[in-house]
Amino acid sequence: MNKIEAVIFDWAGTTVDFGCFAPVNVFVDIFKNAGIEVTMAEAREPMGMLKIDHIRAMLSMPRISTLWEEKNGRKFTEQDVVELYAEFEHALLSSLSQYTDPIPEVIETVELLRKEGLKIGSTTGYTNSMMEVVVPNAFKKGYGPDFYITADETNSLGRPFPYMIFRNMEKFKLSSVRNVIKVGDTISDIKEGVHAGVWSVGVIVGSSEMGLSEKEYDMLSLDEKTAVINKTKQAFIENGADFTIETMGELPKIITEINRQLSKKEPMLHGK
């Protein structure tokens, strides 16, 4: 079959939790509790990764690493990572249900894709225990994929490794990466799609990469919105995105374009 058969979505910042604020706030808090002030930009940079990998990545950032050494008199250890992650997990689980509202246009777009016969898959940087909170709460509000998987089930090999995407393909019995789209809101999402060899699409408004709440975004002037949209789009494209969309409502026309290319047996025009 020479057309798109499945779309694999990320969760926070893509389909739920506009701006991906649930984990970001907790990352800032746990480092503050450890005596280190991190910026929102630092907390967002590794977003999309498995959360323990995210903490490890933050501790490896030169500025944060230096502050850690100054405060503790030594470099960070794996035990530090484990302890920070335990605190992170506890705090996130207690607040996560509040960050499960579907992002505008997601429910309608998914419904449209299902009517076209597409499978709706998903991957995430959350763990199984976190998804046990997110999935039922999002479902009550109208969003639910046909399948979800976490890195708990891929030997903790989360993004940017491609294995969660391959497990979606296995579940749906899909024969080719050419017929699959990955949609996400972080650089890790884009790289996950690129590494899997599927079509990689970055969604801009509501994304962690943009980093604004819905209220903050709505308060921007038209020129300011254009500037942040262009900046986010450029970051996705520089990291290998085949397409970007401002909002989820644009996804069907992207699928139509990819299907046109596939039907003509044109080469995959990655980066176009």
Q: What are phi and psi for residue 243, nearest 5 degrees?
A: -145, 160
Q: Which residues pair with 180 in a beta bridge?
A: 6
Determine if residue 146 is labeled as part of a ligand binding site: no
Q: Is 118 left (phi over 0), alpha (psi -120 to 50) or beta?
A: beta
Cβ burial, residue 173 (10 Å; 0-12/13-18/19+): exposed
Determine if residue 53 is labeled as part of a ligand binding site: no
Q: Catalytic annotation on 253? A: no
Q: Catalytic annotation on 218? A: no
Return all residues near 204 (Cβ < 8 A) that are at least 6 apart: 185, 210, 229, 232, 233, 236, 244, 245, 246, 247
Which of 129, 121, 118 is closest to 90 using CA atoms? Answer: 129
Determine if residue 12 is labeled as part of a ligand binding site: yes
Residue pointed to by tokens 């891929």: 154
Please identify which of the residues 17, 51, 182, 191 carries the catalytic annotation. Answer: 51
Please identify which of the residues 10, 17, 53, 189 carries the catalytic annotation. Answer: 10
Residues classed as catalytic: 10, 51
Residues annotated in a binding site: 10, 12, 185
Residues annotated in a binding site for Mg(2+): 10, 12, 185
